[in-house]
Copies of this chain bind each other. A is one copy, B any other.
Amino acid sequence: MEVKRPLILVSNDDGYLAKGINDLISFIRPLGEVVVVAPDSARSGSGCAITANLPVHYQLVEKDIDLSIYKCTGTPTDCVKLSLHTILNGRKPDVIVSGINHGDNSATNVHYSGTMGVVIEGCLNGIPSIGFSICSHNPDVDFANTQPFIVDIVKKVIEKGLPTATCLNVNFPNEEIIGLKVCEQAKGYWTQEWEPCPRKGDENYFWLTGKFVDIEPENANNDRWALHHGYGAITPIQVDLTNHTFIKELSNWF
């Protein structure tokens, strides 16, 4: 009896040439047929952005046994939409895997993350989806510590699936990983976000930067605490954003 191998769609927001996505491909290639559709260059901070006002183009750059790699001019979200509606010819992936992102996507960063844009788009299409990130922006960071954890998580998600409208945001510390911890999204906010870079006397030019303020640093349930204590942090993310608990009170306003 021939066993059908899982179809694994891979994308990211650092572009198809990043070390993170290439290490991810090598880690999960033994688990199934891998199709990569990723941006042609870095799209950090894309969130769930889509390309509304320009055509999007994709191109096959590598074809091997059970591995195809396409690059795409669009956003991470566009890559998933293109895969599902054109590139995969109607085949539905068993799992969508994004990353490994060079940079932390824990806490409220999930909103800005193109890595998680991929995952949210997969989830909105009913496909179990997982984003992986490491707490380092170094383009040559060593991902070796993450390999056994990534393989374990992807295998379990292929086997068990995920609840409706739920996906996973997985972040790793850039050090020895002592285990995995299921977490909630840490609460906090960014400060000192803009670094001046004046140009020809115009003071109104700025680089985005910033410092994250964790308002519950001692809360051992949250993903930042887990990362600071050596754990890989797995945060289950829901794509229904409704605050159901406020509906009744708000209804009384009108």
Contacts and interface: CB of A to CB of B under 8 A. Distances in A.
Interface of A: 42, 44-53, 55-59, 75, 77-78, 81-82, 84-86, 108, 110-112, 114, 117, 120, 124-126, 152, 156, 160, 163, 165-166, 179-180, 182-185, 187, 189-194, 197, 199, 202, 204-208, 234-244, 246-247, 250-251, 253-254
Nearest to A160: B253
Contacts of A59: 204
A43 to B, nearest CB: 9
* Chain A interface, >50% SS class: mixed
B241 A241 contact: yes
B247 A237 contact: no
Nearest to A41: B53
A182 to B, nearest CB: 4
Given A45-B49, A237-B241, A238-B242, 8 more contacts: A42-B52, A47-B48, A50-B208, A56-B207, A163-B243, A185-B240, A236-B250, A238-B243
Contact of A47 (B49, B184, B193, B194): B49
Given A45-B51, A58-B204, A180-B254, A81 B112 contact: no
Nearest to A59: B204
B49 A112 contact: yes
A108 B244 CA distance: 15
A166 B78 CA distance: 28
Nearest to A234: B250
Nearest to A207: B55
